[in-house]
Amino acid sequence: MDFRFSESEEEFRQELLDFLDRELPDGWGEGPVPSPDEEWAETLRMRRKLAERGWLTMHWPLEYGGQGASTILSLIFNEEMSYRGAPGRDAFGARMLGPTLMIYGTEEQKRRFLPSVARGEVQWCQGYSEPQSGSDLASLSTRADDDGDFFRVNGSKVWTSLAHRADWMMVLVRTDPDAPKHRGISFLLVDMKSPGVEVRPIMNMAGTHEFNEVFFDDVQVPKTNLVGEQDRGWYVAVTLLDFERSGIEYAATSRRLLDDLAAFVRESRGGIDGWVADALAERYVETEVARLMAYRVAWMQSEGMVPNREASMSKVFGSETFQRVADTGMKVLGLHGQLTEEDRWAPLAGRIQDAWRHSFSNTIAAGTSEIQRNIIASRGLGLPR
């Protein structure tokens, strides 16, 4: 594993940092956490800026309008964007759907869907989890019945991030209820404006609307929106999951939270001492190890290796590190930690309590820590099933 970035990689990092200094609103990330509406407005604005530079899809091959950027450049991009809390990236369209269509999509699908993602004009969401299918995703029961040139979709999805903002959804549906559970699933692209699609908000304990329930009532989906072969969608979905797991976001956001916390303690208490110093240093060591684990995954990909247990380890450790940092933050701030951004005495404008309230989802979304540990043990360490 290479522990040094090349000159061109360092140049890119600097170019990105200069760009963020210029383009992010003044004081971004230093005040209260923006409301979802503010965040969304900034997301759209920054996404266009990123698209103009080709950075939104920098990891795509040249033939699809990308820059063919290495996974290392992609990692640097995600690391700095995450550290700055910069809005604009596109986890669903650019990082999941795009690469999936490049492998499984028809020429027509690629022509139709990829350019709008690259231009940052369309929001995708991911319809995977269902009320009765969480970690056991392959047990999903949303049905797509054959109806001539169409599928007719009935059922519901849940925990769908950004469904209320999305134009399109990539959705897993059951097309053969009689086949073994992994073999009767198909991967469809659904226009969220289709009649019969209904989105209902789920409020989380951070007081924000990020997740949704999505209901399908006899929704007609053209068969040209089937990605890959019918009944083989599980394998499309599994490929797609591999694009979202380098884990650098966890390390970078953890480090940012920790740096903010250390700066606050330093300035407000005149020093970092005693158990606080030990706790912050322990979290610091963990964020460094999390960063190295994510680098390792990206480095393996850049060398043409397929990270397997490494990606799961990075996800588990990074997400749990973020939780520990947020938890330490709450302990360090004591009673003041509870104060929200509306309170004028809130330390760090309430960002620590906001992070803590959000931190619970980290070890649940994108594969729970328990599922990840199963993967590490069975696929990674070869323990028997």
Each residue 264-303 as x (binds another protein by CB under 8 A) or -, in order, gives --x----xx----xx-xxx-xxx-xx--xx-xx-------
Residue type, 59: H
Encoding tokens for residue 213? 């329930």
Residue closer to another protein by CB (options 4, 193) is 4
Each residue 316-355 as x (binds another protein by CB under 8 A) or -, in order, gives xx--------------------------------------
218 in contact with another protein (CB under 8 A):
no
92, 171 in Cβ contact below 8 A? no
Catalytic residue among 42, 79, 80, 244: 244
Residue ranges of alpha helices (H) inside 152-247 are 233-241
Checking phi first, is residue 120 left (phi over 0); if not, alpha (psi -120 to 50) or beta? Answer: left
Q: Which range, of 10-18, 92-100, 149-157, 377-385, touches another protein by CB under 8 A?
A: 377-385
305 in contact with another protein (CB under 8 A):
no
378 in contact with another protein (CB under 8 A):
yes
132: Cα separation from own chain's centroid: 22
Residue type, 146: D
Residue closer to another protein by CB (options 58, 265) is 265
Residue closer to another protein by CB (options 3, 345) is 3
Residue closer to another protein by CB (options 122, 276) is 276
Residue closer to another protein by CB (options 108, 267) is 267
Containing H/E element for 190? strand 185-191
Q: Find the shortest distance in angstroms from Cβ 126 to another protein.
A: 26
Encoding tokens for residue 311? 């990606």
* Greatest CA separation for the chain: 72
Signed CA dihedral, 112, 118, 120, 124: sign only: positive
- 1-20 residues in contact with another protein (CB under 8 A) are 1, 3-4
Q: Find the shortest distance in angstroms from Cβ 179 to another protein.
A: 27
312, 300 in Cβ contact below 8 A? no
Q: Is 229 a catalytic residue?
A: no
Give me the torsion for CA of 259, 260, 263, 267, rounded to 10°: -170
Nearest to 250 by CA among 223, 224, 283: 283
Contact footprint for another protein (CB under 8 A) = 1, 3-4, 262-263, 266, 271-272, 277-278, 280-282, 284-286, 288-289, 292-293, 295-296, 309-310, 312-313, 316-317, 370, 372-374, 376-378, 380-385
The residues that are catalytic are 244
